[in-house]
Chains A and B, each alone.
Chain A
């Protein structure tokens, strides 16, 4: 190689090391720099043989230093590696891993979203004597090598929409999808659609996308990652990270920083270490299936060997997924398994599996995908249920299934037939009476055999009906205290000012009136003050007669996050509940429903492993019993960051569960109450076809502070208000607090699929 080129490569390696370790490994980096400087000084005077030797020496030194630093990599170093402009990007992968590709949807910055790259690519190989060409759809965030317009791989909602569109194209064409996740997070903008809205759509569709999906994680930043990350096989680069939030974000929350303040590097480092973001952590927790080993200090475009490994891995993963659902596999499945045990014994490229799936295989694929996610994250919550309870909860679903089968499947049809028959008979009988009995009676009356009913008696009855008390069973006085449960704030003797007082001229309201009779609604302008979750439980969801279930599934601290144990205990003590998700079975008027709610007083209604599990169990219960399923979101601040990926993984997990429920013909209705943000809204809540909001709610992806911080845009006031969400098409209606119950009942009667027990 030309020595100038080799020098340039070494220079790049040095800057790379400096960039990543500069701040904390000063001596090592300086030493290396000094040695390299010396070498450069001597370089012009060297003769050929010395030059060859010296080059080898200095390259060995670099390799040694890199290996040494590799052993000391902290999670934050990995974050820096992943974000470095020299990191391989999707373009590099397309050029080197796939054999032929066409980018779809633009060129460079002339693209609906340059940070989302889509390509139709081929993998061509020779098996035996035959050349095989296998098309795949490659989808992923493109960071580029530092180009500004790529936005660092932070995809906008329309970028995610584009990704979804081409996933569906792949489904139509019946080819596998390879997604490459490399995003620090989604661009948190509320547009048409909003970020959360689009990610939820992606997850909802990917849950039942009928082609194999292989995801490769390089930078997995929370919601943005999930938008393309729900896959049958999830691989991960060894130097990548997959996290609930960027370490800086976690530090900002941890340090309770205001906008504009920066967290100290130590705190960021600490947070990164605690969040369990590395490939090893995620493999151990079961959130990825396999690690793809990178060269020391991470893959850069010139690591050509790495592309080979990557190609082998994705081909292998696709083969595995396909063959696991195919009926015709025989020896190839064995061979695939075999290869895994003794690495390198057989080249996967020589095993050919047709990636085309039959209809039945597609069904099996979806089932497997569901099971795969269903089994995740069970270690991350505490199952406080007794042995007996667990046995019971294992057996119960069987009972529900049998019961549903009998009463809604088997018995319903004959009963319906019988009823139809009776109805017809009655109609016949009526006709006979009219045609036969009446003329006879008329004749008899004329013959004065039977006396006609005196008309005065009819008049008397009419008069009676018009003047006596109707429905005396209701009692004469129909005014009562309309709310069963009243906020403790209604006990304080004070006047409360409405925030709209200046614009709407609202008078101050007396707290006992406002928080009891008015249900926290300003009588002048209709402003909704937030109410406690108990208010809804008792006044809307009939909590007195409800049966709560799985109350003993308990949140814990799966990552050993510092100080979190204490906070969790405080939350448990304060609310008397063991997680922020409360699930119960209740009746609304006369319809039995399953309700899952996220309550704000417990850690801001954040979702972790326990909450996810409870939510899924509730959805399954509703599905088996053919009940409507209502998600009442009193408030949620997002995914619980202290649980790391254990929390994020609930996004695909719960979405899969509700998708299953919806596909089974149920009614999944979401009701937002106060502030509902981030992960849950961007997945299992935001994907519901029936989402409604109480007027007090704010709905969105990221709070105003985060938006200002990450995008630099000025956040207009009322950006997240329910009306905005309505005009974005995220929700389907806004309800006043006083009429929730009425509207809910109306919704139960008019919405939802075919498989509800009362239909």
Chain B
């Protein structure tokens, strides 16, 4: 089950905790993986750890030209593209009244517009191959909202709507488009929380723990697999039961 041998995957934000976990799991399932991110050294380190079947494709997702060049670069290095994981994301949190245009624009640019451009490029090659998997990493806050994250929540909700529209368009070509929506996951961001904040969060999670990157990565591996061929336009929530929708 969930064997990805011979499949070619591109993961954005691969230097982050979550992106690294996703790249590792796809690779462990047998896929060749192109690692994208801005920090070349960190990408190289992850590539060295994975060893074979790996390519490094740096990209600045705020830059249109850099984004447009990414899918062709990954295709060239891997010899095709079966799986695109739009994982990279940024936050610029502030209360709505204090949210600046730049905070809005930069979060939408990286989290949503780059995912749009990458998906558009990927779907072209996937159409020809009559097979493909596009998986975007959303967030529980894209469904529930969260104070201080108007821009981030909008970008993540945007990914869900975009994925549903694209899923409907390309289903006949055996291309599935889905979202994995994590809840609270162990990361540098959640490690920065103090004990009281942490307790507050955990009291909302029936599972009683924060999620691990591997929990999210397993959901991505499932959606990337042949076994998930009939699942499209969906949002798979990985949140320890925090929100049941």
A, B from the same assembly:
no
Interface residues of A (CB under 8 A from B): none
